[in-house]
Amino acid sequence: MAKMAFCFWVFLLSLPILISARRSGVVSQNSFEVKKQLKQLNKPAVKSIKSPDGDVIDCVHVSHQPAFDHPLMQNHTIQMRPNFYPERVSEESIEVTSSSKSSKPIITQLWHTKGRCPKGTIPVRRTKRKDLLRASTIKSYGKKVHISTPKPRSADPGFTSQSGHQHAIAYVEGDKYYGAKATLNVWEPKIQQPNEFSLSQIWVLGGTFGQDLNSIEAGWQVSPDLYGDNNTRLFTYWTSDAYQATGCYNLLCSGFIQINNEIAMGASIYPVSGYKGSQYDINILVWKDPKEGNWWMQFGNNYVLGYWPAFLFPYLSDSASMIEWGGEVVNSESEGQHTSTQMGSGHFPEEGFGKSGYFRNIQIVDGSNNLRDPKDIGTFTEQPNCYDVKVGKMGEWGNYFYYGGPGRNPNCP
């Protein structure tokens, strides 16, 4: 009995050491995975630029970017410019602009104050160890959760609660679409929880919602989980299987091929609009090259950023079946209570210019590669007392809409 008691006490005394060793093994393994992922994402830089917001922008040789980790890209010849631009795009000024009468040049991204990337390279926002550690898993870093695209014709009242995502959008469907364009003002909406986000974007869609959806997305977003701060940032996203296994934000996986050396995806946009103050716009155009079939993105008048190769999207190989413009937030609050995360400016559409978020000059690209005004524009929002959308048409703004809202309020508890 005494021998058994002695063995029991030895076991108890050694237990913390065993637990510590086991924990050490887990940490060591996680550390290895983190280092491996960082090496995969952060390619060797020709030059690095420290941005005032804490970002590091690495100037990576164009042929060394993450896109070429894809097995089907090994022998890919980079298309350095699109064969065709949609007609009418050159007739309009689509630089970042202010509603004030000042003609001073506006810095489109904050890191530009500290330098530029040389020709032959692309700017890539460096992923840091703390970025990966914020993700639920290392593999999920840079990816959206499932079911995050609005489903305008959905009659299922449980759709919102299932996905946790809410929208205020304008959309068109029922035709073949070869691209979309919009000018949208940029805000810095307040986010309640770090795992929530608020974004404003264009969706180019094909396939079936929730099953095999193909989606190309571009706009601005505030996402503390992804970026570690509350800055407003330019972003892109893509998926070819309804957000299940394929796709990612920006350049965080192989897919999008960037050719531009001036604009960094995921980098801060500066300045942003102020309530009752100056309004700052960005212009985004996504279109399909009729010759090569690749889907291109342009930011502003001079910044053709790059393209998503045609082979990524089985349902977008010919055209898109739906275009959407608008806002999206994540509501992570428990049942019965709504997040106070803001969409757009955080104010409802009724407040109008200088106070509410807007999209103006929304257009689609038709089969003749022409920019056209969309027909039969629909709107969709799950809870209009939380976030809403109002469309209109007038003069230089063409087809437009105001959108957004504060989230939780007396009418949205």
List of residues 6+ apart from 273 with CB closer than 8 A:
185, 186, 187, 279, 280, 345
- Amino acid 250: pLDDT: 97
Examine residue 152 and state whether it is found in any structural domain, yes or no. no
C-alpha R_g of the chain: 23
List of residues 6+ apart from 394 with CB closer than 8 A:
400
Token duo for residue 366: 């038709």
The residue from 188, 196, 217, 324 that is catalytic is 217
Taking CA atoms, 147 is separated from 17, 37, 160, 220, in Å, by 44, 26, 10, 19
Rounded Cα–Cα distance for residues 254 and 248 (Å): 9
Rounded Cα–Cα distance for residues 119 and 286 (Å): 23
- Amino acid 25: pLDDT: 38
Q: How many CA atoms lie within 13 A of 126 on its CB side?
A: 21
Helix (H, G, I), strand (E, B) or coil at 272: coil
Rounded Cα–Cα distance for residues 62 and 68 (Å): 10
Q: Are 87 and 369 in contact (CB under 8 A)?
A: yes
Rounded Cα–Cα distance for residues 386 and 347 (Å): 10
- Amino acid 106: pLDDT: 67
- Amino acid 99: pLDDT: 44
The residue from 188, 196, 324, 328 that is catalytic is 328
Per residue in 204-249, pLDDT (tens digit) is 999 988 779 999 999 999 999 999 999 999 999 999 999 999 999 9
Examine residue 275 and state whether it is found in any structural domain, yes or no. yes
- Amino acid 302: pLDDT: 84
Examine residue 355 and state whether it is found in any structural domain, yes or no. yes
Looking at per-residue confidence, does 371 or 107 come out higher? 371
Examine residue 16 and state whether it is found in any structural domain, yes or no. no
List of residues 6+ apart from 221 with CB closer than 8 A:
197, 198, 199, 200, 201, 232, 233, 235
Per residue in 323-344, pLDDT (tens digit) is 999 999 999 987 778 999 999 9
- For the cut 90, the answer to whether the pLDDT of residue 183 exceeds it is yes
Per residue in 53-89, pLDDT (tens digit) is 999 999 999 999 999 988 888 889 999 999 999 987 4
Examine residue 2 and state whether it is found in any structural domain, yes or no. no
- For the cut 50, the answer to whether the pLDDT of residue 93 exceeds it is no
Examine residue 158 and state whether it is found in any structural domain, yes or no. no
Token duo for residue 307: 């393209």
Examine residue 21 and state whether it is found in any structural domain, yes or no. no
Rounded Cα–Cα distance for residues 241 and 375 (Å): 28
Query: Catalytic site residue 324?
Result: no
- Amino acid 349: pLDDT: 98
Examine residue 140 and state whether it is found in any structural domain, yes or no. yes
- Amino acid 17: pLDDT: 41
- Which of 128, 96, 94 shows the shortest CA–CA distance to 109? 96
Q: Are 284 and 129 in contact (CB under 8 A)?
A: no
Query: Catalytic site residue 217?
Result: yes
- Into how many domains does the chain fold? 1
Q: Which domain holds residue 104?
A: 39-144+166-404
- For the cut 50, the answer to whether the pLDDT of residue 157 exceeds it is no
